């Protein structure tokens, strides 16, 4: 942290009261592409994330600096005039958050902020939602707004949807805002009811593997999947009184799927319904400490994302297949939006090293890319981490 305070003073000058914040990244254990379909998700917040050091200003200027994008220097805007500007690149995320707070009627002063993140960018671990929540928490604290975390989560999703123009669901912001140490959160995205489950894997660990194939969430394919599901829902609604695909049991879907005329839309809806059921079941299995059944559901999730939802692609399939072939792997699947990014696996501790070496070799032979591994530590959600009255 000391290095961040020093860097802050170099960039913005000494003095004043500095406050520091941390907002995690997230990984989803199961429940993919279910959030915007009104289903369940089961993510956890990571111990890696975004740090922010901030100081309130007396005027309405916002000055942003990221140690990860140091060459872009300080990006300065006036909170009275916030619009998306491509040249502002990453700073559009915090700008979007301030803009939504203001639209909601909160009175916010200007501030200087320095960010430092240790989530790999573009890996699908939600570095963008992490910077959004870091910004929300600092706005909330600097201005003593007392906004409830779930409200901030919703505002951050709006920032992403309306200011950035990415039509994401609520999972990332919720996992990052509401995450809890050593727990996954089972969230019903229809009602926002949630409960925490301790992640106790006996002699095994969660391992994230990065394909190192970059993915863009703004990718048109994400919005295409949403539209396909919306079309399927709208046809089903002509006959059924449901609000979302998440309202359907597997039995109800099987009994009515003939109503969906387009075969592609039918496959997409099938994934949404089955994945939702799998997620509810997986949370139960984890509670019962049946790790093998949980791993099996992860594998089934990947197959459904590969064959029915078609969001995996060559690299993710290659990495998951390489994992499946290894001893000690209890389950493995893609995680996040797909089209590149990361996989998540449960691996027995005594096989952790062999898993990494062998999977990397097999994957490299097939794709020419070298994966990276992170043994997951589940940390707490976005928060203020320190409060000091003077610059160091």
By the rule CB under 6 A, 309 interacts with ligand GLA: no
Which among 35, 112, 172, 265 is annotated as catalytic? 172
By the rule CB under 6 A, 189 interacts with ligand GLA: no
What CA–CA distance (Å, rounded) separates 349 from 337?
A: 28
Active site residue 172: yes
Tell me the closest approach of the beta carbon of residue 171 to ligand GLA, in angstroms: 4
Sole residue written with tokens 């062998």:
358
Alpha-carbon torsion, ordered 64, 69, 71, 72, to 10 deg: -40
DSSP-derived 3-state class of residue 224: helix
Residue ranges in 23-52 that form contacts with ligand GLA under rule CB under 6 A: 32-33, 35-36
Tell me the closest approach of the beta carbon of residue 225 to ligand GLA, in angstroms: 9
Q: By the 8 A CB rule, do 248 and 277 touch?
A: no
Tell me the closest approach of the beta carbon of residue 100 to ligand GLA, in angstroms: 16
Query: Contact with ligand GLA (CB under 6 A): which of 337, 344, 347, 382?
Result: 337
Tell me the closest approach of the beta carbon of residue 364 to ligand GLA, in angstroms: 26
The H or E element spanning position 65 is strand 61-66
Helices (H), ranges, the chain: 2-12, 92-103, 127-142, 149-158, 171-178, 220-237, 250-256, 263-287, 291-307, 313-324, 352-367
- Closer of 84 and 370 to ligand GLA (Cβ): 84
Tell me the closest approach of the beta carbon of residue 158 to ligand GLA, in angstroms: 13
For residues 224 to 263, the per-residue mask of contacts with ligand GLA, x marking binding by CB under 6 A and - elsewhere, is ----------------------------------------
Q: With CA atoms as reference, report the closest residue to 97 among 212, 176, 10, 187.
A: 176
By the rule CB under 6 A, 132 interacts with ligand GLA: no
Residue ranges in 145-184 that form contacts with ligand GLA under rule CB under 6 A: 168-169, 171-172
Contacts of 42 (CB under 8 A, 6+ apart): 28, 29, 30, 31, 184, 185, 186, 187, 197, 279, 282, 283
Total residues at the site for ligand GLA (CB under 6 A)? 11
Please report, as ranges, the residues that interact with ligand GLA according to CB under 6 A. 32-33, 35-36, 168-169, 171-172, 217, 336-337
Active-site residues, by number, are: 172
């Amino acid at each position: 942290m000391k290095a961040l305070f020093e860097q802050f003073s170099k960039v913005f000058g000494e003095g004043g009261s500095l406050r520091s914040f941390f907002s995690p990244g997230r990984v989803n254990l199961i429940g993919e592409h279910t959030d915007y379909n009104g289903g369940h998700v089961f993510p956890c917040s990571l111990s890696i994330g975004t740090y922010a050091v901030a100081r309130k200003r007396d005027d309405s200027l916002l000055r942003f600096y990221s140690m990860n994008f140091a060459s872009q220097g300080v990006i300065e805007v006036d909170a009275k005039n916030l619009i998306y500007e491509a040249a502002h690149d990453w700073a559009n995320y915090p700008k979007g958050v301030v803009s939504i707070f203001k639209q909601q009627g909160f009175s916010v002063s200007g501030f200087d902020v320095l960010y430092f993140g240790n989530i790999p960018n573009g890996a699908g671990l939600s570095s963008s939602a992490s910077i959004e929540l870091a910004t929300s928490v600092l706005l909330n604290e600097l201005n003593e707004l007392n906004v409830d975390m779930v409200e901030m989560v919703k505002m951050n999703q709006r920032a992403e949807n309306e200011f950035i123009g990415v039509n994401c669901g609520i999972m990332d912001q919720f996992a990052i805002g509401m995450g809890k140490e050593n727990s996954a959160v089972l969230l019903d995205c229809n009602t926002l009811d949630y409960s925490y489950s301790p992640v106790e894997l006996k002699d095994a660990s969660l391992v994230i593997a990065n394909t190192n194939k970059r993915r863009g969430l703004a990718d048109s394919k994400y919005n295409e999947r949403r539209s396909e599901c919306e079309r399927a829902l709208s046809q089903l609604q002509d006959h059924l009184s449901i609000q979302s695909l998440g309202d359907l049991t597997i039995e109800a879907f099987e009994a009515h799927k003939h109503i969906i005329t387009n075969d592609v839309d039918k496959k997409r809806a099938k994934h949404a319904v089955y994945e939702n059921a799998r997620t509810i079941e997986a949370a139960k299995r984890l509670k019962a400490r049946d790790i093998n059944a949980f791993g099996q559901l992860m594998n089934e999730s990947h197959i459904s994302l590969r064959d029915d939802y078609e969001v995996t692609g060559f690299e993710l399939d290659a990495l998951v297949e390489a994992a499946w072939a290894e001893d000690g792997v209890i389950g493995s699947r893609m995680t996040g939006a797909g089209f590149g990014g990361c996989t998540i696996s449960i691996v027995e501790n005594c096989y952790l090293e062999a898993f990494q070496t062998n999977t990397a070799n097999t994957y490299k032979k097939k794709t020419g890319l070298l994966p990276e591994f992170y043994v997951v530590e589940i940390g707490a959600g976005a928060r203020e981490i320190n409060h000091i009255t003077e610059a160091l």
